[in-house]
Amino acid sequence: MTPFASLQNSYSLYLFAALRHLGKGLGRSFRQGETATRPGREVRLRQSIVTALFVIWSCLVACVAPFATSAMPVGDQQRTSHALAAQEDDPLLAAAAAAREFSRLEAERAFDALYDRMHPDALAVAPRSAVVGWYEDFLANRETDELTVTDVKSEPWTWGVTGAIYADAVTVTFLQPYVVAGEPDEVAGEVHLVPFGEEWGWFFGASRSFVDEQIALHGDDGSATLFSLSQESAAATPVARDVLFPDPLHAHVDQFWAARFQEAEQVYASPNGVIAFDEPIVTACGRADPAMEAAFYCVIDENIYYSAEFRTLIENQIGDFAWVIVVAHEWAHHIQAQLGFDLGVMPDRAGEVPSIELEQQADCLAGAYASDAELTGWLDPGDVDEALYMTEISGDPPGTSWNDPRAHGSGDERIDAFMIGYTSGLPGCEFDLKLADAAAG
């Protein structure tokens, strides 16, 4: 599910409403049903709420949100005692004061000072020449002045350039005045500020491609090289699986894919994280609301996000392995992206795979994972039934068109896709990990 798809948001609301009314008996009655067997035996499922429950979990429409302000205002290194006091007393007031202070430096065209006030993580990526050059171009034919803050809120934020998540970020919404060719104007925008030490830092650009474009236009003076080398050195040190995925349920999915890539003699890259949120969060793919979003993979920052309430409801009403299959489906999208599949395709674009086929392939890959988990003795009795039940009730509502970019298929179609992977493994999913070579090239 993508944060930008309002129709899919409504499917998540159906899920939440249905699960809240099922009661805890569902999980107990389901475990009394027949267990799915190996190939050759019929798999039976309980149908108690299928006609009432329509939901799409795990839909991915890779989306790149336009950045409201490619390079936001920053401020000088000297803080007034008032700003320091505000920061100590109220981070929101301090962030608002910093944003106004930064905009004054924009108006003064103190671009070197602006650069110096970037967050250290941004200094590691964007050279001074690129940042100053962008500002010189942007303000070449316009004048500006101090902005007016319209809203300030604390919320987690993901920087699209690196995918790093900042839990202590503050979003400042504002109106900034401009004069272009003698004509006054006022532009709305927002800036994400992150504290470090006693300062507030800003970030340049919304994507790596934007930063690269500015470097190509304005050159690289080497100012970010030392930081970049330091980052590359840190990235070269593998992060332990139990550190990256402290939840053993998630770590097990990662372990499965690491083993498959090793068997194929390919390099495997884990997702950057599996992140729960119980309040609105800003990701590289846009804002996500836990009341509206169930679970989704963001292709930009390579994170899997999920509503904490959504997970709790699934585990309480169906079972823990039902939740694992949700994660396994989203993990499959990460693997598809790693192999070069375009997860943001529309079916009428020549040479690209319809999104419904990618979704059902993800169901198939989740089935392959479930089969391996069962064969290695990792599952409890009834776990495969949970996976099948979760897959079935997640089918599209009747009347959903196959070429709807949000389509996943009916419950029966999704079960069929899951069972192909469950009985035949990755080859049955028409999935060749050797493609990772071509994607990397």
Domain residue ranges of the chain, discontinuous segments joined by +? 6-65+240-440, 81-235
Q: In terms of C-beta density within 10 A (0-12 exposed, 13-18 middle, 19 or more buried), how is residue 187 classed?
A: middle
SS3 151: strand
CA atoms within a 13 Å half-sphere pointing along the CA-CB vector of 268: 20
Distance of CA 26 to the CA centre of its chain: 31
Measure Cα distances from 336 to 216, 332, 360, 425, 439 in Å: 30, 6, 12, 16, 10
Q: Is the alpha carbon torsion for 323, 326, 329, 335 positive or negative?
A: negative
Amino acid at 390: M
Q: Which three-class secondary structure string do you get for 372-426?
A: HHHHCCCCCCCHHHHHHHHHHHCCCCCCCCCCCCCCCCCHHHHHHHHHHHHHHHH
Q: In terms of C-beta density within 10 A (0-12 exposed, 13-18 middle, 19 or more buried), how is residue 350 classed?
A: exposed
- Residue 100: the pLDDT is 95
Measure Cα distances from 41 to 171, 387, 419 in Å: 55, 17, 12
d(CA 326, CA 309): 14
User: What are φ and ψ of residue 33, in 5° steps?
Assistant: -75, 175
Token code pair at residue 124: 């590691």
Provide the residue-wise pLDDT of the chain in tens; the chain has 441 residues: 333 332 232 334 445 555 555 543 343 233 333 334 443 333 333 333 333 333 334 333 333 332 333 333 333 334 434 444 444 468 999 999 999 999 999 999 999 999 999 998 899 889 899 999 999 999 999 999 999 999 999 999 999 988 889 989 999 999 999 999 889 999 999 999 999 988 999 999 988 889 889 988 988 887 776 655 655 655 556 678 888 899 999 999 999 999 999 998 888 999 989 999 998 888 878 888 888 888 999 888 889 999 999 999 999 999 999 999 999 999 999 999 888 876 653 333 333 566 888 899 999 999 999 999 999 999 999 999 999 999 999 888 888 777 777 778 888 999 999 999 999 999 999 888 877 654 544
Element (H, E) at 152: strand 148-154
pTM above 0.85, yes or no: no
Task: Look at domain 81-235 and name its CATH class.
Answer: alpha beta
Residue 270's contacts (CB-CB under 8 Å, 6 or more residues apart) are: 241, 244, 245, 254, 257, 258
- Residue 234: the pLDDT is 56
Q: In terms of C-beta density within 10 A (0-12 exposed, 13-18 middle, 19 or more buried), how is residue 25 classed?
A: exposed
Maximum alpha-carbon separation in the chain: 78
Amino acid at 211: V
- Residue 394: the pLDDT is 87
d(CA 428, CA 363): 12
In the sheet where 286-288 sits, what is the strand order? 165-166, 157-158, 281-283, 286-288
Token code pair at residue 92: 């929101």
User: What are φ and ψ of residue 418, in 5° steps?
Assistant: -60, -45
Tell me if 134 sits within 8 A of 71, measured CB to CB.
yes
* Local structure of residue 277 (DSSP, 8 states): E
Between the CA atoms of 285, 287, 292 and 295, what dihedral angle is there, to the nearest 10 degrees? 40
Measure Cα distances from 383 to 32, 39, 322 in Å: 11, 17, 7
Q: Is the alpha carbon torsion for 300, 301, 307, 311 positive or negative?
A: positive
